[in-house]
Amino acid sequence: MKKLLVVLVALLFATGAFAQDAAKKGAEFKYSVAAQAFGVSGSQGDLEYDYQHIRVRPMFSVSNENVSAVVRLEIDQDYGMTAPAPTNNQLDGADKGTDNKVAEVKWAYVQVKDVLIPNLTLTTGLKDYYYPLIVDNDFALTSASYDFGMGSVTLGYIKVDEYSVDEQDAAGNDVNTDVQSYVADVTVKAGNITARPAYFYTKDESSAYRVSNYALNVAGDFGMVNVEATGAYLTLATEADDFTAYAYDLGVNVKPVEGLTIGLFTSYNSGTTATDMDTVGFNATMDGLLGAPDGRLFLLEANSVDGNGGHQDYYDETQSEYGYAVYGINAEYVIGKVALFAQYGYMVSAEDNTAGDSAIGSEIDGKISLEVAPATSLFVEIGYLMAGDDTFYADNATQYAWGLTTKI
C-alpha cells in the first residue's frame, strides 16, 4: 500500500509539474473531482442492514490543438472491513490504517479531432458509453465519429472479453473465445427534436451466441414540456435456438412554474416463461453483456445513491427473468438552495412467475438536498416498498440514505 501511495503522490506532483510545463508550451491542462460519501440503513421484516461508503473520482486531461489525453481514477471504500474474508453481504472495505489497494483506472483514452478530414474524431482507450435501455458502462473501446452539422454518426468497437491473445493454436484449431461488440450510433437534430437510431451487435467468437439490438431514442424539448422515448428490440441466436426480447421507456416532464418539474413515466422490459421460449429477459440479457442502465425507482430499479457503489441487491427487479413494467409519477421543486423530490411507482412483472403472480409492488421515494457550496450538497433520501404478491416480497421494505455529493 505504501508503494501505491508513493506512486499516487508522485503522479500528483508529476501532473502538477506537467500542467505548468504544458501551459508554457501552449497545451491546456484541466482537472476535476467528483465525489460522494453516504450511509445506508434499511429493513424488511426481520432483515436489517447498515453501512457507509465513499467514492472519489479524480480526472485530468491534457490537450494540444486537436489531440487530448484523458485519465479518470476511482477510489471507493466501504467503512470498515470484515475479517477474515467477506461473504454474502459482508463488506470488503477499509481496514485499520486503511492500507488498501483501491485506486482504479476508470478512463484512460486518447482523442484526436479532424483526423484526415474535418469533423472526423477518433477515440481509443478506456472510456464510458451510454445509450438508454441498452448500455451504461466503461469499456476498452475504439470509435470514429463524424459531425455532419445537424448531427453525427459514430461507429464503435468494444472489446468485452479478451480471454486469450491466441485465436488459432499450432495445430490449426480455432481457439478464439473473445466477446466483442460493434456499434452504429447516429444522432440527428431537427429543430426541437433529436432522434438517435442505433444498432448494437455482440458476438461470442466461440459461437455460443450472437446478439443484435435495434434501438431508437427520440427526445423533444418544447420549453415547458420535455419528452423522451426509447424503444429497443433484441434478437439472440444460440447454437440450439433463437430468442427475441424488447423494451421501451417513456418519460414526460412538465415545468408549469419556475422551479417545479412534474414527470410521468413508464418502462417495460420483456421476460421469459417456461411456456414461451420465444422471448428472453431483455434487461437481464443486456446487463449481462454490456451493463444496462438503471431505472428511476430508488429500490425496485436500483436508482438510489446506494446503487452507485453500494450493496443494493435486496430489491432490484431490473434483472428478473420475468421482466417488468413500471408506471409512475414524480415531482421536483427547487427553491433557493433546497431541492425537494418525491416519486411514486407501481411495478408488475412482464410475465407471471411460477406461482402465477405478477404484482411486484408499489414504491414511494423522497429526497431532500441542500446546497452547502458550489456543486456540493447534503442529502437525505428514503425509499419505501409496499409489497405486492408475497411470492415476490413477503414484507414491506424501508431504506434510508444520507450523505454528501460534490463536483470540484
User: What's the pLDDT tens digit per position in 166-201?
Assistant: 777 777 777 777 889 999 999 999 999 999 999 999
- Does residue 171 lie within any of the structural domains? no
Say yes or no to pLDDT of 88 above 90. no
Predicted TM-score (pTM) of this structure: 0.88
Q: Vertex 102, ends 98 and 107: CA angle to 5°?
A: 150
- Does residue 23 lie within any of the structural domains? no
- Does residue 22 lie within any of the structural domains? no
H-assigned helices in 210-347: 282-289
User: What separation, in Å, do the N-terminal and C-terminal C-alpha atoms of the chain show?
Assistant: 26
Lowest-pLDDT range of 68-82, 254-268, 358-372: 68-82
- Does residue 308 lie within any of the structural domains? yes
- Does residue 134 lie within any of the structural domains? yes
Mean pLDDT within 88-93? 67
Kindly report the average pLDDT of the chain as a whole number. Answer: 88
Contact between 202 and 219 (Cβ < 8 Å):
no
pLDDT (tens digit per residue) in 350-359? 988 889 999 9
55: domain range?
Answer: 29-163+176-407
- Which residue in 326, 323, 325 sits closest to 286, CA to CA? 323
pLDDT for the residue numbered 209:
85
* C-alpha cell belonging to residue 282: 431483455
Based on the structure, what is the number of domains in the chain?
Answer: 1
- Does residue 58 lie within any of the structural domains? yes
For cell 440450439, name the residue: 240
- Does residue 15 lie within any of the structural domains? no
Distance CA 324, CA 346 (A): 10
Distance CA 125, CA 159 (A): 10
- Does residue 19 lie within any of the structural domains? no
CATH number for the domain that contains residue 352 = 2.40.160.100
Q: Give 341: exposed, middle or buried? Use CB within 10 Å, 0-12, 13-18, 19+.
A: middle
